[in-house]
């Protein structure tokens, strides 16, 4: 119990400082809002004229709104790891690792901060959706569910990003890999088209992609009449399981950043 409290206290200490830095310079938060606006207002408006995409009983625009929220979570979180490369070059990581903090707490704290940052993105997408009169579920339980998804999704992808950073160790390589990963993760998911439209091989990839489960859960929780391929239990279990594995791996790799 004591160990657990210690773990949480130290994770929160890391998360608190990350968030203080973020809100001290919120420019990045606002610039992150631009892309989803473009996707929904331009791409979404045009593609909702296309009748060939089977979206069940919801409009295409409503169908893609949770997908764009998931995308915005992914695109932000996937570059989170670059910060640790900075911190490594500055010697900050050395100091953290010399402290008697569990390695897992150092990693988990960053995931919490990334999760909290995802909440801001959720608010932005809700605002856009309201402005565009997309039929959004407003019952508190659904909203809480969406926020929980977003926190978990951000945590998953930011920890994934941290793992990449620990492996590649330099900014240049990291940016290259980040660029290479984002689009395939996005397109090989059900974010803007349903799994049923995909060729078999792509569907197989999409089923192994955590983003698919994030989109699935968000689609059920966020929009009126939204349907998912999997149940919420399955989606949350997959995301939660992936997160635990990622944290364990990242905690093992984190100390190798400075060797």
Partner 1 sequence: MTTATTDTQHPSTGRAIETVHLTRRFGAFTAVDRVNLLVPYGGIFGLLGPNGAGKSTVIKMLTTLLKPSAGTALVAGFDIAQAPGAVRKRIGYVPQLLSADGALTGYENLTLSAKLYGIPRAELKPRIEEALHYMGLTDSAQQLVKKYSGGMIRRLELAQAMLHRPAILFLDEPTIGLDPMACLSVWDRLRALNREHGMTILMTTHVMDEVDELCDGVAILHQGKLAASGSPAQLKAAVSEGASMTDVFAYFSGGSIEAGGSYRDARQARMTAKRLG
Q: In angstroms, give the least distance from the CB of 104 to partner 1.
A: 13
Nearer to partner 1, 26 or 56 (CB): 26
Nearer to partner 1, 19 or 234 (CB): 19
CB 96 within 8 A of CB 106: yes
Is residue 45 classed as helix, strand or coil in its secondary structure? Answer: helix
Nearer to partner 1, 28 or 224 (CB): 28
Q: In angstroms, give the least distance from the CB of 99 to partner 1.
A: 4
Q: Which two tokens stand for residue 216?
A: 């699935």
Q: In angstroms, give the least distance from the CB of 252 to partner 1.
A: 13
Nearer to partner 1, 94 or 245 (CB): 94
Q: In angstroms, give the least distance from the CB of 12 to partner 1.
A: 8
Segments in the chain forming alpha helices (H): 2-24, 27-38, 45-47, 60-77, 82-90, 92-98, 103-131, 140-168, 171-187, 200-207, 210-222, 232-253
Q: Which residues bind partner 1 (CB under 8 A)?
A: 2, 6, 9-10, 13-14, 17, 20-21, 24-25, 89-92, 94-101, 255, 258-259
Neighbours of 137 (CB within 10 A): 17
Structure-token match 């968030």, residue found: 19
């Amino acid at each position: 119990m004591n160990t657990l409290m210690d773990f949480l206290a130290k994770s929160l200490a890391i998360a608190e400082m990350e968030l203080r830095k973020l809100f001290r310079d919120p420019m990045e938060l606002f610039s992150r809002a631009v892309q989803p606006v473009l996707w929904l207002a331009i791409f979404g408006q045009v593609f909702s004229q296309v009748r060939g995409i089977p979206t069940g009983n919801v409009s295409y625009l409503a169908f893609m709104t949770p997908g764009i929220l998931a995308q915005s979570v992914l695109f932000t979180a996937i570059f989170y790891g670059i910060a640790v490369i900075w911190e490594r070059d500055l010697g900050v990581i050395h100091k953290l690792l010399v402290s008697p903090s569990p390695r897992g707490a150092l990693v988990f704290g960053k995931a919490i901060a990334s999760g909290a940052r995802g909440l801001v993105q959720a608010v932005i997408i809700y605002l856009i959706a309201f402005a565009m009169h997309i039929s959004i579920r407003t019952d508190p339980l659904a909203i809480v569910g969406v926020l929980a998804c977003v926190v978990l999704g951000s945590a998953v992808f930011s920890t994934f990003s941290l793992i990449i950073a620990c492996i590649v160790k330099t900014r240049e390589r990291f940016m290259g890999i980040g660029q290479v990963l984002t689009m395939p993760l996005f397109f090989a998911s059900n974010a803007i088209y349903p799994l049923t439209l995909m060729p078999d091989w792509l569907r197989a990839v999409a089923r192994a992609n955590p983003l698919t489960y994030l989109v699935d859960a968000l689609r059920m929780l966020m929009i009126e009449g939204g349907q998912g391929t999997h149940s919420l239990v399955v989606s949350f279990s997959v995301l939660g399981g992936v997160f635990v594995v990622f944290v364990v791996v990242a905690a093992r790799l984190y100390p190798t950043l400075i060797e």
